[in-house]
Amino acid sequence: MGVDADAKHSIRMTADRILVKPSDEVGERKSRAGILIPATANVNRRLVWAEVVSVGPTVRNVEEADRVLFAPDAGFEVEIRGDEYLILRERDVHAVASAREDGHSGLYL
Using CA atoms, how far residue 71 sits from 7, 19, 45, 65, 97, in Å, is 34, 14, 7, 19, 15
Q: Amino acid identity, residue 66?
A: D
Q: For residue 26, is pLDDT > 60? A: no
Q: 42 or 11: which carries more pLDDT confidence?
A: 11
Fold of 17-97: 10 Kd Chaperonin, Protein Cpn10; Chain O (2.30.33)
DSSP secondary structure, 37-55, as one string: E-GGG--TT--EEEEEEEE
Q: What is the pLDDT of residues 30-88, one digit of tens each?
A: 667 777 666 666 556 788 999 999 999 999 999 999 999 999 889 999 999 999 999 99
Determine how many CB atoms are found less than 10 A away from the CB of residue 63.
14
Q: For residue 2, is pLDDT > 60? A: no
Backbone angles phi, psi at 26, to 5 degrees: -65, -35
How is the chain split into domains, by residue range?
17-97
Question: Considering only CA atoms, which of 74, 57, 58, 100 is closest in space to residue 20?
Answer: 74
Q: For residue 27, is pLDDT > 70? A: no
CA angle in degrees (0–180, nearest 5) for 21-57-95 = 50
